Amino acid sequence: MAPAASLNPAPAHSRLFMSGNDAVARAVWEAGVRVAAAYPGTPATEMLEVLSTYPDLYTEWSVNEKVSLEVAFGAAMAGSRSFCAMKHVGMNVAADALMTLTLTGVVGGLVIAVADDVGLSSSQNEQDSRTWGRFAHIPVFEPADSQEAYDFALAAFELSERFQTPVLLRLTTRVCHVKALVTVGERHTRPAAGFAKESSRWVMVPGHAARRLPLMFEREQQLAIAAAESSLNYVEDGGDRRLGFIASGPACMHVRESFPDSPMFKLGFSYPAPIERLREFAASVDRVVVAEEVEPLLETELKAAGIAVIGKDILPRIGELAPNVLKPAIARLLGEPAPESSVAAPLPVFPRPPTMCVACPHLGVYYTLSQVKNITVSGDIGCYTLGAGHPWNALDACISMGASMGMALGLDKGRGEADADRRIVAVIGDSTFMHMGMQGLLDIVYNRGNVTVLLLDNRAVGMTGGQNNPGNGRGIHGEEAPRVDFEQLVKALGVREERVHVVNPYELATLFKRLREETKIPEPSVIITNQPCVLVQDYQRKSPFMVEEDTCTGCGNCVDIGCPAIHVTRRDTVLKPNGKEVARSFVRIETAACTGCGLCLQPCAPKAIVPASVAGKVHVLQPH
């Protein structure tokens, strides 16, 4: 969460050390925005977190990205400047609204910040959100660093109101999270113009929409002129005319670092592309390379305009175009020997696969799922996606937010003889359920699906940092808010009362019994777990446990829980009387990390796990 000091913003002309997300938030506040909305999603999350600490504007965590855009659009209709932020996959959710509001246009400035996860550091796919500019016929700005993130956000609001259009501010993980010095200004308040009734503009029935289409295309032509004249698009000259570059966003920084002597046309206002200026630039060098992350959008447009450029025929369509990618590709193009890499080879380290937190309430869920036979588990997006990994291996599918429900129904309806006896389980988190899962459960009920749903209520948007949501009774500022009753909600969606159960996920025997019973019932059922994320204020830490080494038999059952506080100290192999070898894993608990949840006690056969206070010891893992 952003520091509370943001409530007392730094004065104008201060130089602050800011990430791109910080800088956008500051610019949004200075621009006089009245309403800002978002759904958390890395790498975009911090924009709203920081904005929520600034005074004089309304901020909210919306239940999904579509709602956040609709809230921002409503404010823009009322004549107020507004803002919404999302990660790249969030725009897929918001696209239904986007593709119509591009027809209506806006009154108050509306800027949509979309953060692309180039390199897939925390996402299930790698999209290029510049595509939405072309698809929706709206302008796209692409900052390359924190200062430009600030400057471009301010400029985007001016352009939005000048042309009465939403503006897409396309960021990437590199811009969002890398910090630099940013010179900031002061807030300029703006009165709301008020909502003017105009049904032919705001009521998008087919007849009205048809009349707005020519206006949208006319606006796009005017935007092309504005892009051609914009100071955000300019040439950085260089003496080596053998090769020039056209680039936008952080790719500009990579080109500048790799080839400081080569000319570069830097695009900040990247769509509509200033084709004729780019044609002139291409004519000024021997050859020109389009360096864009990640799709060949501009390259395709330039080639269609008859401009000879080089692009994805030598550069990859995945990941960042860092110097260690650019330099060898250009060397091959120029017929030069490949340069020695300036990037040090990674040192071999002990593998550290991602895992859940110590005492996470999801640990018991996945341990239980791993013990149940003959099931197919449809998963979803969140911390609990980690259930696909070791030691649980308890997720069989995961594609997008809320998809666990629809996939589970499809697995049920599409099963053949080979799967006739398999039970179908869908796993979904509380925030994901509210984001896009409720409709899926309604569909399961309506179509009489034979699916058991595990709704994991941990009272937070856990994966992105524990943000508040309607499930924990607190708003974006921590203030009291209405709290969703998931038990009543799923009943309202049609699940029969007898098939709805609330279970403590730390009680493994109860959870196992409920799961085994409900998967045998040929109708929709929901098991709701009800313990908070261990990283939020609702979690109550208990006294830690330790392992009595003399009692431990090395059965390894506690290891199967997957708690990171449990460490294997040695492994042995025991030969049983029947001649079969059995592996033994002797363990200890890092007591300083243990929160006393008690999960590991339950499968421990020799009862070797006891409260640390009994022996008065605290075991801390020592570095080797």
Judge if 298 and 385 occupy the same domain: no
Residue 255 three-state SS = helix
Please name the residue that has the structure tokens 């239940």. Answer: 63
The backbone torsions φ and ψ at residue 376, rounded to the nearest 5 degrees and listed phi first, read -115, 130
In a domain, 538, yes or no: no
Mean pLDDT in each 10-residue stretch from start to end of the chain (624 residues)?
53 90 97 96 95 95 96 96 96 95 96 94 90 97 98 98 98 96 94 93 94 97 97 94 96 96 97 97 97 96 97 94 93 87 71 85 94 93 90 92 94 90 94 94 96 94 86 89 94 97 96 95 96 91 91 90 91 78 86 93 92 63 39
Domain assignment present for residue 595? The answer is: yes
Tokens of 584: 């033994």
- With beta carbons less than 8 A apart as the criterion, state whether 421 and 520 touch: no
Same domain for 254 and 224: no
β-strand 375-378 against 423-429: which pairing, if any?
A: parallel
Q: How far from 525 is each of 318, 497, 515, 516, CA to CA, in Å? A: 41, 9, 10, 12
Q: What is the mean pLDDT of the chain?
A: 92
Residue 139 resides in a domain:
yes
Share in percent of the chain as helix, strand, coil (round to 5):
35, 20, 45
Q: Could you tell me if residue 540 is inside a domain?
A: no
- Residue 50's φ and ψ, nearest 5 degrees, are -70, -45
346 within some domain:
no
Answer for the pair 434, 469: CB distance below 8 angstroms, yes or no.
yes
Together in a domain, 159 and 209: yes
CB atoms within 10 A of CB 216: 17
Domain co-membership, 518 together with 549: no
Q: In what order do the strands lie in the sheet with 58-61?
A: 58-61, 35-38, 82-87, 110-116, 167-172, 140-141, 269-271
- Is the residue at 354 inside a domain? no
- Rounded (5°) CA angle 130-132-135: 125
The answer to whether 560 touches 603, Cβ cutoff 8 Å, is: yes
Q: List phi, psi (to 5°) of 39.
A: -115, 135
Residue owning tokens 């206002």 = 269
pLDDT confidence of residue 285: 96
Residue with tokens 């022996």: 615
Same domain, 578 and 505: no
Neighbouring C-alpha atoms within 13 Å toward the C-beta of 58? 10
Q: Do 312 and 380 reside in the same domain of the chain?
A: no
Q: Does residue 148 sit in the same domain as residue 18?
A: yes
For residue 328, whether the previous peptide bond is cis, meaning omega lies within 30 degrees of 0, is: no
Q: What does the alpha-carbon distance between residue 120 and residue 167 come to, in Å, rounded to a whole number?
A: 25
CATH code (residue 388): 3.40.50.970
Beta carbons of 312 and 340 less than 8 angstroms apart: no
Regarding whether 555 and 435 lie in a shared domain, the answer is no
Closest CA to 486 of 556, 421, 437, 539: 437
Find the helix packing angle between 361-371 and 508-519, rounded to 10°.
50
What does the alpha-carbon distance between residue 490 and residue 596 come to, in Å, rounded to a whole number?
31
The verdict on 323 and 446 lying in the same domain is no
- Are the CB atoms for 180 and 146 separated by under 8 Å? yes
Residues belonging to the chain: 624
Residue 143 token pair: 């900052």
Tell which residue, 31, 40, 49, has the closest CA to residue 115. 40
pLDDT score of 614: 65
Q: Which pTM does this prediction carry?
A: 0.89
Domain boundary pick from 467, 499, 529: 529
Please tell me the total count of domains within the chain: 4
Tell the burial category of 53 from Cβ atoms under 10 Å away from its Cβ (0-12, 13-18, 19+).
Answer: buried
| Count of Cβ atoms closer than 10 Å to residue 588 Cβ | 17
Residue 496 belongs to what domain range? Answer: 361-529
pLDDT of amino acid 87? 95
Give, as one character, the DSSP assignment of residue 596: -
Q: What is the pLDDT of residue 7?
A: 54
Q: Are residues 604 and 561 in the same domain?
A: yes
**Selection from 554, 562, 549, 548 nearest residue 597 by Cα:** 562
- Per-residue pLDDT, 125: 87
List strand residue ranges (DSSP E) for 207-339, in order: 233-236, 243-248, 264-267, 269-271, 287-291
CB 106 within 8 A of CB 167: no
Coil, strand, or helix at residue 281?
helix
- 553 is written with which tokens? 């038999």
Do 574 and 493 lie in one domain? The reply is no
Please check whether residue 351 lies inside any domain of the structure: no
| pLDDT at residue 281 in the model | 97
pLDDT digits (tens, 9 = 90+) for 554-574: 888 999 999 999 999 888 887
Which position has the token pair 């006891």?
Answer: 610
Q: How far is CA 362 from CA 248, 458, 529, 531, in A?
A: 42, 9, 9, 9
Summarised one tens digit per residue, pLDDT across range 377-406 is 999 999 899 999 889 999 999 999 999 999
The H-or-E segment that residue 423 falls in is strand 423-429
Looking up residue 311, the CATH number of its domain turns out to be 3.40.50.920
Residue 535 inside a domain? The answer is no
Looking at this protein, which amino acid is placed at residue 166?
Answer: P
Show the tokens assigned to 559. Answer: 């290891």
Compute the distance between CA of residue 207 and CA of residue 188 in angstroms, rounded to an integer.
39
Same domain, yes or no: 287 and 370: no
Report the distance separating Cα 467 and Cα 63, nearest Å: 12
Task: Assess contact for 73 and 165: CB atoms under 8 A.
Answer: no
Residue 562 CB coordination number (10 Å): 25
